[in-house]
Structure 1
Amino acid sequence: MKRSRLRAWAAALAGALALAPLTVLAPPASAAPGDLTVTYSVGDTWTTGWSGQLTITNTSSAPVSAWRIVIQTGSGAGIGSLWNATLSSSGSVHTITPPSWGATVPAGGTYGIGFNGTRTTSTSSTALTSCTVDGLPCDGSGGPQDTQAPSVPTGVTAGTPTSTTVPLSWQASSDNVAVAGYEIVSGGQVVRNVVGTATSGTAGGLQPDTAYTFTVRAYDAAGNRSAASAPVQVRTAAEGGGPGPSEDQRVVGYFTQWGVYDRNYLVNNMVTSGSAERLTHINYAFANISPQGTCFQVNQAGQGDAWADYGRSYTAAQSVDGVGDTWDQALRGNFNQLRELKERYPHLRVNLSIGGWTWSRYLSDAALTPQSRERMVSSCIDMFLRGNLPVIDGAGGPGSAAGVFDGIDLDWEWPASAGADGNIIRPEDRENYTALVAEFRRQLDALSAETGEDYELTAFVPADPEKVELGFEVPELMENFDFITVQGYDYHGGWESRTYHQSNLVLDPDDPGPSLFSGEIAVDAYVDRGADPADLVLGVPFYSRGWTGVPAGPDGDGLFQTATGPAPGRYEPGINDWDVIAAQAGGFTLHRDNTLGTAWLYNGSTFWTYDDAVSMRQKTDWAQRQGMGGVMIWSLDGDDAGGTLIRAIDDALAD
């Protein structure tokens, strides 16, 4: 098994700076002197680099389409890559101009430019030694540099902490020009940078049951900082710290692209429910493969949803960082929110899932030849890991999604076996799947050598031993996967006439068959073929499957009885999210089999195979007893607002 090293992101986030001019250039006709200001802020830092942001603000009453920023980095530092603009560097001097597709700064609005900085040592400065926009100081003074610092923030208070986060709020500072943002400081390090006028922010990436002291300081566009506020002392909660970035206790959650619609499950719900601090991985579902065998956002048939991915604007209340999107951001939507989530929870890895039940149709074609495999893999890596999204309705562009995704999760359902209607299936899919995985690993390793980052490769694989035998060369595959998640659900459902368990850990001795499935059978299908249990993650369902017209049967519980059809579901017949079923459970009798790790609800006519907090803990405990590498959740939007199910998983892992 090829293992990747989880990045040890530094907790410190540097402040915002915009310093004295380097050179003077004539401003373009479309911008008067002082119309534009530029604020520089730093996001994540690591040993060999950091992520930076330049925010152009246009204070005039007319849009500005021509601008020129010149910055200078300090000794041992440079700029490696940049998005939303064009970069020209000469030594430590970097000239930034609009991209080829244009970048107008709207009247009274802003435009953001992101970049990844490089440094020779972890102590090399992330500060800029100078910054000019159209030849004038970036602070907009138009003359001598502003040297007056904002006033000290007052009224700093802490909200209710979690085991890894502390929310803070304060009263606004004042400045002779304008306050550009605030820094939350702990232990001499900036742990949260709040750009703009917001007077609240959350310090993340903290340790459970640990005392912290926080102060807040304000800064302006010229880089002047106030003195620190009065300190606030807080102890993080002891409960629910989560497994953190551990390779032997992974908690993988699928975030569905479409969950932002009827379910109204946003990325920020992972924060408010406490899920984000309990996850180690998020798989974003799904990327689609075109008939030409490449990753795409929207094809000629209108498939894909670029608006949900990176076009939708979120308000401050909806956003992870508490700052609303602007119409001219190149990256909005789920992708931008995931980027903000990673800034808040540095241990999280986010992987892009390809395929799924509906979008595996053309994977057989894409895996057919060495040329088609190279074409598919390079297109997916370029679009999602390099972040070169196509421009759709003003969003996207080269590098716009850089840093959002940390790897690829391959969800081909299923090589050489039937999946969704219309899927292309070939007997040679088995060998071609192995070759496709090897091509992903080859290109991911090449990208790692280029960027210094570690990129994961994982997969979702079936529970049916017959499908495993037909489609998966297990020993060869495990050489290239970091881990795989084994389907632990959908063993039975409303497509069958008889009620069953959908996620039983072992076989029920009374199961009449003919289709006999269990978690044990699924896991053994891989272990018996050479997989290490530690490299397997058990899938668990945050939803229920149900039937209606179910007689009571000899035990009066409706189990193993012939139904008239699937039960009514909110989104489709025979299926409901756990939070929907939990809200209705009062009208049912709860039954449980602790050996099988299952529960079910029955009211005399409707039967739901059911997973609650108790069975989630039983499944997690069982996976640990088998020596497995954690659990995977399909899908996070099925949990309730308090994160009841993921908390049960977290509690079991903590024992």
Structure 2
Amino acid sequence: MRPFRHRRLTALVALTTLLVTAAPPAAASAHDRSERRAGYHRVGYFTQWGIYGRAFPVKKLDTSGAASRLTHVNYAFGNVSEDGRCYVDGGPGEGDAWADYQRPVPAEESVDGVADAWGEPLNGNFGQLAKLKAKHPGLKVMISLGGWSWSTYFSNAARTDASRKAFVASCIDLYLKGNLPNLDGGSGGPGSGAGVFDGIDLDWEWPNWPGEPGNVIRVEDRENFTKLLAEFRKQLDAYGRTTHEHHPLTAFLPANPAAMDAGFEGRKIFKYLDFATVQGYDFHGSWDARTNQQSALRVPAGAPDSPDFSVEVAIDGWLARGAPRDKLVLGIPYYGQGWTGVTGGGNGLFRPVTGPAPATHAAGYEDYKKLKTLPADGYTVHRDLRAGHAWLFDGTTFWTYDDPAVVLQKMLYIRRTGLGGAMAWSLDGDDDNATLTKTMSLGLTTW
């Protein structure tokens, strides 16, 4: 059966590739807007810093065809101050107002082809996201707060009733009402960013659980996270009564069952969330002393760790804790984790290593758009169809990643399991044709 199954999946992937490469990046039609409302959530993270080394401006979401296939763009990230406020005027490493809304975007990077002038109220990524929304009606843009590096002070913000009220008010004022600070006499000012963001995405990594060193952690984070969601929902609904719109609230949730129990009150949190994205990657990585999978659908046979992580373990963990199926959105990686100095031969899986693989931006981490070219450089693509993962190996260097075949397999899993959709981290890892995003969209299209 295995050779037949392999040929069948290969044929299906070939058809998928043909469809996603042949389809032009059409403007959003009435049908497209209807699909956004009625179908699966298709969420992609846009990184603030992607405009630099990765040369990924907002315009690429339009020209690649990604924007017309997404329902939500999550902007990564907004920071949280030590005294529990949303802010954009931090020092080095604490924010980038230049990228966010100050940088005059040149015509060649602009969604509508019109260059920004210095000092306009709204420039930078925020201004381009506003133009992207104008071109793609129905596309929601969310401000994602925190992330791995900026979750340091979430616990302070969530600690008391008063701190929660002040934190939520500051986030709505800054991002939804768009009262951006004018830091240097240029862009910003009262209401300058109004209408860019539709809602809030909380990326607290993680309540009552170790994240980046230095994060403030308290046992009461678990119940305070629920209370923080309740305050966000209350104030978002109140603001919505003035805008006559629903302002969504989402959250990013961990794959580790221990972190689920330590930091989240299971069923309770979904009373306030429109949906939640679930970490479906970084199960293993270059911090490990042997090669492994970073995003497998199921734990592979022969896996050296028991228990181990997988998509199925993560989703089943949240379902067992009371999460509604249709509010779980599965995260998929647009990058790979890699090792070099692999010994032991064979296909390279579960073998000892000497360290992280060399890569473009950070050792052990490489974008899909680069990994897809490696077979031409002597790498062999390996697949485990039962476990639902793929890897590249050249005898020395090993990369675990999601290609269109794996993405399509995960979309079928989402449909079969009754989940709410898919999320991608991050959009700048895809190729210029948005192959992975188009595969995601095709796999979740209701025919």
Cα distance in 2 for partners of 1:396, 1:494 equals: 41
Is 2:162 the counterpart of 1:374?
A: no
- Contact kept in structure 2, 1:542 and 1:611, CA below 8 Å: yes
The within-5 A match list for 1:60-459 is: 165=26, 204-206=27-29, 244-300=35-91, 303-393=94-184, 394-459=186-251
Distance 2:357 2:28 in 1: 43
- In the other structure, the counterpart of 1:469 is 261
**Higher RCO (CA-CA < 8 Å; seq separation 6+):** 2
- Using the alignment, how far apart are the partners of 1:458 and 1:248 within structure 2? 17
Instruction: Tell me what 2:6 maps to.
Output: none
The 8 Å contact of residues 24 and 65 in structure 2, kept in 1 or not, is answered as no
2:393 pairs with 1:570: no
Larger strand fraction of residues: 1
Residues 393 and 399, structure 2, Cα contact 8 Å, conserved in 1: yes
Asked whether the 8 Å contact 1:242–1:650 carries over to 2, the reply is no
Q: Is the 8 A contact 2:25 2:65 kept in 1?
A: no
Q: Does structure 1 conserve the Cα–Cα contact (< 8 Å) formed by 2:25 and 2:62? A: no
295-304 or 278-287, which moves further after superposition?
295-304
Q: CA RMSD in A?
A: 1.6
Encode CA deviations 1:268-319: one digit per residue, 9 max, x unaligned: 0011110000000000000000111101112256620000000111122211
2:16 aligned residue? none
Say if 1:648 and 1:380 are closer, same or farther in 2 by CA, change over 3 A. same
Moved more, 379-388 or 523-532: 523-532
The answer to whether residue 370 in structure 2 is matched with residue 580 in structure 1 is: yes
2:343 is aligned with 1:560: no
SS in 2 for 1:269: helix
Amino acid of the structure 2 residue aligned with 1:205: A
Q: Which SS does the other structure have where 2:415 is aligned? A: helix
In structure 1, C-alpha distance between the alignment counterparts of 2:107 and 2:151, rounded to whole Å: 36
3-state DSSP class of the match of 2:289? coil
Q: Is the 8 A contact 2:390 2:400 kept in 1?
A: yes
Contact 2:333 2:401 in 1 (8 A): no
Bigger Rg, which one: 1
Distance 1:432 1:538 in 2: 25
Match of residue 7 from structure 2: none
Rounded Cα–Cα distance in structure 2 between residues aligned with 1:301 and 1:278 = 35
Indicate the residue corresponding to 2:17 in structure 1: none
Q: Which amino acid aligns with 2:438?
A: R
| 1:434 partner letter | T
- Unpaired runs of 5+ residues, structure 1, are 1-160, 166-203, 209-240
Paired amino acid for 1:506:
R
Cα distance in structure 2, aligned partners of 1:301 and 1:608: 33
Residue 300 and residue 206 in structure 1: after superposition, are their counterparts in 2 closer, same or farther (change >3 A)?
A: closer
Map of 1:551 onto structure 2: 343
What is the TM-score of this pair, normalised by structure 1? 0.63
**Match of 1:516?**
308
Matched positions, count: 423
Task: Answer yes or no: is the 8 Å Cα contact 1:163–1:206 preserved in 2.
Answer: no
Runs of 4+ in 1 over 4 A off after TM superposition: 161-164
One-letter amino acid matched to 2:334: F
Query: How much does 1:584 deviate?
Result: 2.5
2:391 corresponds to 1:592:
no
TM-score, with structure 2 as normaliser:
0.92
- CA distance in structure 1 between the partners assigned to 2:150 and 2:400 by the alignment: 27
Contact 1:388-1:402 within 8 A present in 2 as well? yes
For the Cα contact (< 8 Å) 2:44–2:73, is it kept in 1?
A: yes
Alpha-carbon distance between aligned partners in 1 of 2:416 and 2:76, rounded to the nearest angstrom: 29
Same amino acid, percent of matched pairs? 50
Residue 509 of structure 1: how far off its partner (Å): 2.0
Unaligned runs of 5+ in 2: 1-21
Deviation at 1:392, TM superposition (A): 2.0
The whole-number CA distance in structure 1 between the counterparts of 2:278 and 2:116 is 37
1:264 corresponds to which letter in structure 2? A
